[in-house]
Structure 1
Amino acid sequence: MEETLIKVTLVILDFQQIRSCIVGELALNYYNVPRVLHDIEICVPEARVPEAAALLCSTGLFKQSPAVKSDLFTEYKQGYPRLQPTLWTPAACAVIILPDTLFGLQPLEDAIVRREEWDSSPLPSKQIVDIIPSIDLAAIPVPRLSSLLVGLCRRYLDQADDAAMIAAEQLVDGMNLDQDWCSRNISAAGVDVYDLSQQLILGKSSRMDQFSGNEITCFVADEAEAKKLRDIPGSGWASA
């Protein structure tokens, strides 16, 4: 259900040449973070947010949805278009249209994983295939891990957004990032972002539950799983 909703939303935007990519819980799922999907968050260029929302509603497949009460994890979505699918799908998720600037992904065309990176058919994260089958993932625009992590760190540093900090921390754990990965992928993002990412890496062991049986991070069980994660397109591990 959610897969169809995601694909239809992206196809409509693409047909009108509005560049887009998934963010939020879906992007975290893609990079092995076990987040429950509440909303389908779609990122578009900031100037085209109103146009994208109006376009989706004009098809009759979506309608404006009333704002919902926010919490620590959802406050950043407030004030942006929230769309509910009409009766064509039983999917319960809303579609939230968010600006690329909120995630530091501008320009989007430089921050998205290229389709050709899926040519070798690597295995995706186990967290995403329950929502989007691996055979369809190459057609889903996803932000590169380095771009997503930098954007979240920057939002925390500039706005004290705790939700961004939690998501950045979970990306570090979900992909078992280390200091070498940071040196190769985000060293040019600024000293403050680089230092924050290093702090998150050094804290990986402190976030592990001693009763979980995991040996790598709170989300990665063992070396075999950690090695598979390096094949996820956009992860930045391929240059290691």
Structure 2
Amino acid sequence: MKHNATEEQQGDTGFSKQIPVEQFNDPAFLNASPDDEIASFGGHGTLEMLEVTQLLNRAGITCCMVGVCALKYYGAGRVRNDWEICVPTERLGEASALLVSADAYETYPPRPPYIWSLLHTFPRFKVIGKALCFTLIPSDDAHIDCITPNIERSQMGLPYPTLDIFAQSLLDTNDMTALTDLIDGMDLTEQWGLKFLKLDAENDLAWTLRKNEKIRASVPTSENSCLFERPINTINLKETWNAIVQDKGRRIGVECLEGYYATRFRVRGDGDPRLTERYHV
């Protein structure tokens, strides 16, 4: 299929951007070069990412998978592009330098700016010879204290934030889309939230303001650039948690067999997805 000189890409921002046709053949856009091999486990790259985390750990740098990676670990039906590896903010430079010095990885161009995100400003790498990219995320951006007690490991050995730490971070940063996916992936309840989360507060508005300041500094100023910034509004964490949990049933699509699904990601009677043998997380 041939593309025109430009393609219109309509983003969640509500305005379109012109994408040059050359970008469709740009390895950075595709996460791959023509001669690349498929990463382990059918392209998921689980073993390669395990090696990255082990390299960081040997250097004394704690790390864990965040973003879509963590949502998939907790049972959400998300599509992952890059792996996102969270490291302590104060050790981001050290972690990046360590990967630069390793023979297995090369620095890679960032993805274009996206709404509410600073991914385009963080160190991005590619596994040499593999169609596989990953980005280092500072812990401040993930709103996670990246320390060993806050981390658990998948059956494949990959590190992830514990469920309570991850859920709290999504609440505190007012990331309702990811929080909804997490609740549906794990079929979480109001009682679970009351037991394991700090719900007697509001979201971290100071974090939002800091992030928006960084976003403004990272994108060209235009009449639409403000749309990249996160919403500045306060939410009651307990009310928000309960409302999302109570709506689990209404989020199940009409294509799903009635009475068969507990959530849009979970069949009734399903066990904890973390206990299922899976090779992609």
TM-score for the superposition, normalised by structure 1: 0.75
Match of 1:220 in 2: 266
Matched ranges for 1:152-231 at <5 A: 152-156=170-174, 164-187=175-198, 190=201, 192-213=236-257, 214-222=260-268, 224-225=269-270, 228-229=271-272
Deviations 1:174-214 (A, max 9, x none): 11111110111103563532322112112212211122124
Deviations 1:86-145 (A, max 9, x none): 12xx2x2311100112222214223112x6xxxxxxxx7xxxxxxxxx4x2xx3211111
Question: Aligned-pair distance for 1:230?
Answer: 7.8
Higher Cα radius of gyration: 2
List structure 1 segments (4+ residues) > 3 angstroms apart after TM superposition: 230-233
Match of 2:132 in 1: 93
Match of 1:28 in 2: 71
Deviations 1:62-83 (A, max 9, x none): 11111222434x8342211111
Q: How far apart in 1 are the matches of 2:198 and 2:177?
A: 21
Question: Aligned-pair distance for 1:232?
Answer: 4.8
Q: How far apart in 1 are the matches of 2:200 and 2:58?
A: 33
Equivalent pairs, count: 198
* Shift in CA distance, 93/202, structure 1 to aligned 2, threshold 3 Å: same
Alignment RMSD (CA, Å): 2.2
> In the alignment, which of 127, 142, 148 is matched to residue 109 of structure 1?
148
Aligned partner of residue 98 in structure 1, secondary structure: strand
Match of 1:130 in 2: none
Structure 1 counterpart of 2:170, which letter?
Answer: L
Aligned partner of residue 62 in structure 2, secondary structure: coil
Aligned partner of residue 187 in structure 1, secondary structure: coil
Higher helix share: 1
Confirm or deny: 8 A CA contact 2:151 2:160 kept in the other structure: yes
Give the unaligned 5+ runs of structure 1: 116-123, 125-133, 157-163, 234-240
* Shift in CA distance, 14/189, structure 1 to aligned 2, threshold 3 Å: farther
Q: How far apart in 1 are the matches of 2:146 and 2:109?
A: 30
TM-score for the superposition, normalised by structure 2: 0.65
Q: How far apart in 2 are the matches of 1:95 and 1:78?
A: 12
Aligned partner of residue 78 in structure 1, secondary structure: helix
Q: How far apart in 2 are the matches of 1:212 and 1:3?
A: 30
Match of 1:42 in 2: 85
Aligned partner of residue 249 in structure 2, secondary structure: helix
Question: Aligned-pair distance for 1:150?
Answer: 0.9
> In the alignment, which of 53, 63, 73 is matched to residue 10 of structure 1?
53
Aligned partner of residue 142 in structure 1, secondary structure: strand
Matched ranges for 1:118-133 at <5 A: none
Q: How far apart in 2 are the matches of 1:231 and 1:5?
A: 20
* Shift in CA distance, 231/62, structure 1 to aligned 2, threshold 3 Å: closer
Structure 2 counterpart of 1:82, which letter?
Answer: R
* Shift in CA distance, 57/230, structure 1 to aligned 2, threshold 3 Å: closer
Confirm or deny: 8 A CA contact 1:39 1:94 kept in the other structure: yes
* Shift in CA distance, 22/231, structure 1 to aligned 2, threshold 3 Å: closer
Give the unaligned 5+ runs of structure 2: 1-39, 203-235, 277-281
Q: How far apart in 1 are the matches of 2:100 and 2:73?
A: 27
Confirm or deny: 8 A CA contact 2:65 2:84 kept in the other structure: yes
